[in-house]
A and B are shown apart, each in its own frame.
Chain A
Amino acid sequence: MRARLLPHPLLTLLLILVFIFLMNEATPGVVVLGIVLGIVIPLLTAPFWPGRPMLKAPLTIASYVLIVLWDIVRSNIEVAGIILFRPADRLRTRYVTVPLDIVTPEAIAVLAGTITMTPGTVSADLSADGRALLVHCLDAGDPEGAVAAIKARYESRLKRIFE
Chain B
Amino acid sequence: MNPVIEAVVAALILVGAFFLLVGALGLARLPNMMSRLHGPTKATTLGIGSLLIASIVYFTATRGSFSVHELLITLFLFLTAPVSAQMLAKAHLLRSREEQSRVTPTGRPADWATLAKGTHDAS
Chain A residues with a Cβ under 8 A of chain B: 18, 21-25, 72-73, 75-77, 79-80, 83-84, 88-89, 91, 93-97, 99, 112-117, 120, 122-129, 131-132, 134, 136, 138
Q: Which residue of B lies closest to A96 (CB)?
A: B104
Interface residues, chain B, with chain A CB atoms under 8 Å away: 19, 22, 25-26, 29-32, 34-35, 37-39, 41-43, 45-47, 49, 65, 67-69, 71-72, 75, 78-79, 81-83, 85-86, 89-90, 93, 102-116, 119
A128 and B110 in contact (CB under 8 A), knowing A21-B72, A88-B29? yes
Partner of B111 from the list A73, A76, A127 (CB cut-off 8 Å) is A127
The docked-state distance in angstroms from the alpha carbon of A158 to that of B89 is 24
A72-B46, A125-B89 given as contacts; is B82 within 8 A of A83 (CB)?
A: no
Q: Are A125 and B93 in contact (CB under 8 A)?
A: yes
Give the CA-CA distance A150 to B51 in the complex, in Å. 29
Q: Which residues of B contact A122 (CB under 8 A)?
A: 34, 37-38, 41, 85-86, 89
A138: chain B residues within 8 A (beta carbon): 35, 38
What residues on A are CB-neighbors of B29 within 8 Å? 83, 88
**Most chain A Cβ neighbours within 10 Å, of B35, B39, B45, B75:** B35
- Pick the most buried of B75, B82, B113: most chain A CB atoms within 10 A of its CB: B82
The CA of A10 and the CA of B45, in the complex, are separated in Å by: 26
CB neighbours (8 Å) of A72 from chain B are 42, 45-46, 49
Contact among B42, B86, B105 with A76 in the assembled complex (CB-CB below 8 Å): B42
Question: A120 CB to closest chain B CB, in angstroms?
Answer: 7
The answer on a CB contact under 8 Å between B46 and A113 is: no
Could you list some 29 contacts between A and B, CB below 8 A?
A21-B68, A21-B72, A22-B69, A24-B69, A72-B42, A76-B45, A77-B46, A83-B30, A88-B30, A95-B102, A116-B81, A116-B85, A117-B41, A117-B42, A117-B81, A117-B82, A122-B86, A123-B89, A124-B90, A125-B86, A125-B90, A125-B93, A125-B114, A126-B112, A127-B112, A128-B111, A128-B113, A128-B116, A136-B37
